[in-house]
Structure 1
């Protein structure tokens, strides 16, 4: 029996799965931040976000992808039929495997191109391997209404200031990224029938708190992919790859309103002040429930 080693398949599969998890809800994550939402009777609102936003696909995920896509040197691999232990290949076996490897060169090249296209599509056409990618994304954000500060700090981390006022006669979500086919939202305000607004801030809470199983899966796949990508990169004479570190989430989310608070999941309920009622949430990596509230404004 001839066993042909295909280690790069694991790296590619792990990176694909990690990217799928990002698209499912982790493409954007907050770092340290302060966020506020003020809603008045009649629907007037102001939303602010001041702090860090982490785009994981611009950091180590891109590096891992590049390492896993590096061309691996051909290595013949054979195992004993009974013990399954590795053994030396015969000249005939090695020649057969080398021929199969050479025959698959075109298919491997096509697959690399497909993976690169998929990554760029995930980022709205931006190539994460391009050194100018971060500034291109920052420029996109600066031209969108509300973004008064967008500074790139490196390793996928942006320091931003966002403030936008309007009227809630439609749903509101933050953030939105021009040209991105899909991205998770930090905060949503959904207008309901009967003059109420449902507020959810699921994206402000780290997945490690709300979904530890997902965080564990992500960490395991990232580490495994990085290990394999490092091995392949080393064979190609390139630098090693380290798995991405999940950004630390720490901040506050505050809702103020002169409307009627029908429901909320704060620890201590609403406080009364000059601006009406205030709901406040302290958020960190141990936060298990995302902030939510239901407010009647009509």
Structure 2
């Protein structure tokens, strides 16, 4: 059994109990200061996908008659194929109201076709890790972006939903990788802290300060990543 297939099997019980949120058209920013203060924003679309359909399409393609991986890429997940009945629309609007209760959401609107428009902004102190999005009421899983705080005074930023690794990495097996066709936007990272590393081939964008802009498309492979060192 391939590594990608094993990852999907291990994730299956959790996926079947949860909803899957993935980016649509968006503009997102993250600013981290040397004193550990930060501001994160996401303005744009959130698309709701069917995890069961993702698992089915991923496990049903790319295998030979013996069940082994034949090297072909799994089919991508599609939005939930349920009709837009009055009951379904009411359910989605209720989900939008649930999401809007979370701190940081300035607005949440259901657009139809399992697509929401959100305006999110949060500021705080990085005395611990930060991830987005997480919502226990919606049972949403697989954060799009995470800031990992390390003991050596650095922080690693990784925007998993804005890119894909190659077939040897976990993200190729993840449902967000299969659902990448809906995403289109930019992720801008700024900081006045020491920039230890980043993986944007275009380098720094015109400032002020240190600024990196990743253009995100359905075919983006690079997972936006950066490491900064705090002043203390």
Match of 1:141 among 99, 112, 117: 99
Q: SS state of the match for residue 273, structure 1?
A: coil
Q: In the TM superposition, what is the alpha-carbon distance from 1:151 to its structure 2 partner?
A: 0.7
Q: Does 1:35 align with 2:31?
A: no
Q: Which residue of 2 aligns with 1:268?
A: 202
CA contact (8 A) 2:25 2:44 kept: yes
- In 2: Cα distance, 1:207 partner to 1:154 partner: 31
CA contact (8 A) 1:200 1:291 kept: yes
Q: In the TM superposition, what is the alpha-carbon distance from 1:179 to its structure 2 partner?
A: 2.2
Q: Which residue of 1 aligns with 2:109?
A: 151
- In 1: Cα distance, 2:229 partner to 2:220 partner: 26
Q: In the TM superposition, what is the alpha-carbon distance from 1:277 to its structure 2 partner?
A: 0.3
Q: SS state of the match for residue 132, structure 1?
A: helix
- In 1: Cα distance, 2:38 partner to 2:174 partner: 34
- In 1: Cα distance, 2:174 partner to 2:227 partner: 29
Q: SS state of the match for residue 182, structure 2?
A: coil
Q: In the TM superposition, what is the alpha-carbon distance from 1:203 to its structure 2 partner?
A: 1.4
CA contact (8 A) 1:26 1:184 kept: no
Q: Which residue of 2 aligns with 1:90?
A: none
Q: SS state of the match for residue 145, structure 1?
A: coil
Q: In the TM superposition, what is the alpha-carbon distance from 1:133 to its structure 2 partner?
A: 1.8
CA contact (8 A) 1:206 1:249 kept: no
CA contact (8 A) 2:134 2:140 kept: no
Q: In the TM superposition, what is the alpha-carbon distance from 1:130 to its structure 2 partner?
A: 4.7
Q: How many residues align?
A: 188
Q: SS state of the match for residue 98, structure 2?
A: helix
Q: Does 1:55 align with 2:13?
A: no
- Higher strand share goes to which structure? 2
Q: In the TM superposition, what is the alpha-carbon distance from 1:213 to its structure 2 partner?
A: 6.7
Q: In the TM superposition, what is the alpha-carbon distance from 1:215 to its structure 2 partner?
A: 8.4
Q: Which runs of 5+ in 2 are unaligned?
A: 1-8, 54-86
Q: Which residue of 1 aligns with 2:211?
A: 278
Q: Deviations over 1:64-95 (max 9, x none)?
A: xxxxxxxxxxxxxxxxxxxxxxxxxxxxxxxx
Q: 1:22 to 1:194 in 2, by over 3 A?
A: same
- In 1: Cα distance, 2:229 partner to 2:170 partner: 30
TM-align CA RMSD: 3.5
Match of 1:291 among 213, 221, 224: 224
With normalisation by structure 2, the TM-score equals: 0.69
With normalisation by structure 1, the TM-score equals: 0.55
- In 2: Cα distance, 1:215 partner to 1:178 partner: 20
Q: In the TM superposition, what is the alpha-carbon distance from 1:205 to its structure 2 partner?
A: 2.9
Q: 1:215 to 1:146 in 2, by over 3 A?
A: closer
Q: Which runs of 5+ in 1 are unaligned?
A: 1-16, 62-128, 220-244
Match of 1:23 among 15, 34, 38: 15
- Higher helix share goes to which structure? 1
Q: 1:297 to 1:144 in 2, by over 3 A?
A: same
- In 1: Cα distance, 2:128 partner to 2:170 partner: 30
Q: Which residue of 2 aligns with 1:167?
A: 125
